[in-house]
Amino acid sequence: MTVDNAKTNDAAINIIVKELPGIYENGKHFHIRCMAHIINLVVKMGLKHEVYHVKNLQDAVKYIRASPQRIKTFKQAIKDAAVESQRFFVVKLQQDPMFQKTVGRVPSHSDFEMIKKMMEFLEKFKKKTEKVSCSTKPIFHTYTREILDIEQHLRKHETNPDFMFMVPDMKDKYDKYWGDYDTISDYVFFATLLDPQCKSKFMKVVFTQMLKAKNKDKKMSDDEIESKARAKVIDIECKLDKFFKTYLERSNMTSSSQQETPEEVVNFDDENEFFGSYMTSGSFPSTSSESQLQRYLNEDPIGFDKGYDILTWWKNNAVRFPIVARMARDILGMQISTVASESTFSNGRRVITDYRTNLSVVIVEALICTQDWLRKSSLPIYDYDEVHNVLADDDLAIDIVDDIHNLKLTGKRSGN
């Protein structure tokens, strides 16, 4: 279950886990932390530091926005001026005696340059948040690659003089939730293994990078890191196999073609004792004794395709791996963020206000859905000629009035 880090959520999850007997690892990995929430915490740790250049520009903007007259005068001056916007901004404030008395320091070009660098630095976090919050496709399998991209971004700016004062705190917050693979839910790693583009090969890269990030004091050699990463991959594969067996036990497949037992597909020639002894000696590599999961993991990862749909791949390969496909569908469908559901409730709170508390359930649903459609669609949802024809239809107008009247009566009976 994907939720944020509120203590009430932890308590609720503990109650839910107790009501779910037989859950994997007794619910130890049931709680998956919302990625967007953690990204927000990481960025807040950096922004808690007061940046001198940012404050200068903030004070200037606050001064201009302090009164409608200043805003109007400033906008008109921008239209009349034929100079670069930054330069005009600085010159205009330098000519304002009230600004000099109220604020004091006029923003310089170095302030604008620092703001530009800050925006470029924070752009990575903005894009990550938008990706995990607005995606309409399953992206749970991208969890590991996204958090490691953030770690690499922080490490890249760790020695940058412009960001040295803020990155260490951001890195500490990152490490609290994502710095150690033992603090991350196993389901996150299961999703990576079930991504046909990644599998165990990429999983090893993930664990190697995490161990290198932790190895700041250089206590572990590269060989030790390599060995630990390999051992962790094997451990996750074994856990996934254990999880797979729960699906195998629940499956009600009875025919031999659907079971995970070896099929007898070879009839050895009794007249050729040499070949028969070779086939029965165990020297011949047989894949029939492998489980579906082992066969899937042993296959090479597919080529990278940016536009491929992971659920479509599993749908097309469900014939070869029916039980693994069922497991993959459940794991890959997990949410990576709770922003979408939280925004729905927030939107509902904006629709049902203290002055609009008597709306029926149907009307509230219509308002929220229509608002969502209007925001998502770049095209108009109506045609003016068509609207004119509808308004000119008297019979349709009577039907609409009757429907609204019936809807009000239904709402009053239900107490809405």
CB contact set of 153 (below 8 Å; sequence gap of 6+)? 124
Domain range summary for the chain, segments of one domain joined by +: 1-30, 52-113, 352-413
pLDDT confidence of residue 411 = 60
CB 323 within 8 A of CB 248: yes
Mean pLDDT confidence for 150-170: 88
Whole-angstrom CA distances from 119 to 8, 50, 52, 124, 213 are 34, 15, 15, 9, 25
Whole-angstrom CA distances from 218 to 3, 159, 168, 214 are 35, 18, 18, 9
Q: What span, in angstroms and rounded, lies between the C-alpha atoms of 17 and 23?
A: 8
3-state secondary structure at position 32: strand
State the pLDDT confidence band at 247, using cuts at 50, 70 and 90: confident
Q: Which of 65-74, 223-232, 290-299 has the lowest mean pLDDT?
A: 65-74
Closest CA to 111 of 91, 94, 90: 90
Mean pLDDT confidence for 184-195: 89
Closest CA to 60 of 34, 84, 88: 88
More confident residue, 415 or 207: 207
Supply the DSSP string of 56-108, one letter for each residue: HHHHHHHHHTTSHHHHHHHHHHHHH--S-HHHHHHHHHHT-HHHHHHT-PPP-
Share of the chain above pLDDT 70, in %: 65
Chain centroid, CA 414 distance in Å: 39
For the chain, how big is the Rg over CA atoms in Å? 30
pLDDT confidence of residue 133 = 80
Token look-up 């209007």 returns 374
pLDDT at 277 over 70: no
Alpha helices in 215-320 (DSSP H): 222-250, 273-280, 292-298, 310-316
Q: Name the DSSP letter for residue 33.
A: E
Supply the mean pLDDT for the chain.
75
pLDDT confidence of residue 80 = 65
